């Protein structure tokens, strides 16, 4: 089995951007609900969400295991005239500094062991924006991981953030970017 680092470096080594340059549609639609300040984009890949946050006034740290992805993220940031800080990190081992961030973004990267670190890394009043696949995605089968552990169970994301104030939540099958996806999406505030 390939290591995550090798797999993602291979995915990002092409000339184009594997997931495009546009931000995640959920992030784009609900940016107004997010507090300005210091942001951390986890599993940032080639930087489309990190760059979007920087364009909207955030000071952004973009963390990812792929050196190639982060290099492309820096290039994209320069292309649009913003600055991001990149952090080469294995998120399975990554430690988030206590109460450092006003916002932590996590899109399509599910490691349940990271949730307590996200909570610890947010300042009081800070928010998390999180979107990833739910089990129903396996029936749609258009994209996503193969292993069941990388899918959320019904209402699991709500339970994982039960000690936060939920500002927005949805779970189900949605059409975005021209494709159907089964996802859970959350914006929640640290009390």
d(CA 48, CA 31): 14
The span from the CA of 40 to the CA of 54, in Å, is 11
Mean pLDDT score, 140-166: 89
List, for residues 75-99, the tens digit of each pLDDT value: 999 999 999 999 999 998 999 999 9
CA angle 18, 115, 76 (to 5 degrees): 25
With cut-offs at 50, 70 and 90, classify the pLDDT of residue 1.
very low
The structural domains of the chain, ordered by start, are: 4-190 (3.40.50.150)
Reported as a single tens digit per residue, the pLDDT across 130-142 is: 999 998 898 887 7
Per DSSP bridges, beta strands 179-190 and 122-133 are antiparallel
Q: Is residue 9's pLDDT more than 70?
A: no
């Amino acid at each position: 089995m390939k290591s995550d680092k090798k797999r993602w470096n291979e995915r990002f080594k092409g000339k184009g951007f594997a997931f495009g340059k546009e931000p995640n549609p959920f992030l784009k639609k609900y940016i107004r609900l997010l507090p300005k300040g210091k942001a951390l984009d986890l599993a940032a890949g080639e930087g489309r969400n990190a760059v979007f946050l920087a364009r909207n006034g955030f000071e952004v740290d973009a963390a990812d295991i792929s050196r190639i992805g982060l290099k492309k993220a820096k290039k994209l940031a320069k292309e649009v005239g913003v600055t991001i800080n990149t952090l080469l990190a294995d998120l399975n081992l990554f430690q988030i500094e206590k109460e450092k961030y006003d916002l932590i973004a996590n899109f399509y990267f599910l490691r349940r062991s990271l949730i307590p670190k996200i909570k610890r890394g947010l300042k009081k009043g800070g928010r998390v924006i999180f979107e990833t696949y739910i089990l129903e995605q396996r029936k749609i089968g258009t994209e996503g991981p193969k292993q069941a552990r990388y899918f959320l169970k019904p209402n699991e994301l709500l339970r994982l953030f039960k000690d936060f104030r939920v500002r927005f939540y949805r779970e189900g099958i949605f059409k975005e970017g021209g494709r159907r996806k089964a996802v859970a999406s959350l914006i929640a505030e640290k009390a």
